[in-house]
Amino acid sequence: MTFLGMFEKAKDVPQEIKGKFVIMLAPFAPHLAEHLWEQLGGKESVHKQPWPIYDPSLLISDRGLVVVQVAGKRRGEIMLAPDAPEAEALEAALALPTVSAALTGKPPSRTIYIPGRILNLVP
């Protein structure tokens, strides 16, 4: 559904992308996919088409979302490298207005950091 939403917002979607989308839709909505495949000019059944090949290198992200909590309550999110050190995570978290307001200007007494996942600050 997310992909379809981006599809609808795009002004010009290449025919190749439309075809791959219909092929991936086929197991979930076979009759609709067959109809769309015909409209795209497919000769054989959509169910006889090879599954699209993906590039595993595109799945690796250099940044990830880290949730910031103060006293166990979610106060924001920061984008960091998966292997970012605790000092960098703490600096980015303290720059968030919601975090600094929750800490009331005092430094945290304890920091719990799981790289790439969560940073919990204890006042």
What ranges do the domains of the chain cover?
2-57, 64-122
Nearest Cα to 123, choosing from 66, 86, 67, 69? 69
Would you say the pTM of this structure is higher than 0.85? no
* pLDDT of 25 strictly over 90: yes
**H or E element: which one contains 40?**
none
Q: How many C-beta atoms surround the C-beta of residue 113 within 10 A?
A: 19
Q: pLDDT category, 109, cuts 50, 70, 90?
A: very high
Q: Write out the two tokens for 6.
A: 């981006």
Domain 64-122, CATH number (from 3.40.50.720, 3.40.50.300, 3.10.20.590, 3.40.50.200): 3.10.20.590
The string of pLDDT tens digits covering residues 28-60 is: 999 999 999 999 999 899 999 999 998 898 888
Integer Cα distance of 54 and 45 in angstroms: 22
